[in-house]
Chain A
Amino acid sequence: MSDITNAFAIGSGAATGALSRFYLTEWSKAKYGTKFPYATFGINVTGCLAMGFFFTISKGIAGYPTELDLLIRTGFLGSYTTFSTYGFDTLTMWRSNQKIATIFYWAGSAILGVVAVFLGAAIAKLFIK
Chain B
Amino acid sequence: MNSLKGRFPIAVAIGAIFGALSRFYITDLAKAMFGKDFGFYGTFFINVTGCLIIAYILTLATENIRLISPELRLMTTTGFCGAYTTFSTYGLEASGFLEKGNITMLLVYFVGSAISGMIGIQIGVLLARTCDRQS
Contacts and interface: CB of A to CB of B under 8 A. Distances in A.
A binds B: yes
Interface of A: 6-7, 10-11, 13-15, 17-19, 21-23, 25-26, 44, 47-48, 50-52, 55, 70, 73-75, 77-88, 90-91, 106-107, 109-110, 113-114, 116-118, 121
Contact of B20 (A51, A79, A117): A79
Contacts, number: 170
B91 A116 contact: yes
A18 B79 contact: yes
B108 interface: no
Interface residues of B, number: 50
B51 interface: yes
Secondary structure of the A contact surface, majority rule: helix
Secondary structure of the B contact surface, majority rule: helix
B96 to A, nearest CB: 9
A47 B12 CA distance: 18
Contacts of B86: 77-79, 81-83
Contact of A84 (B21, B81, B94): B81
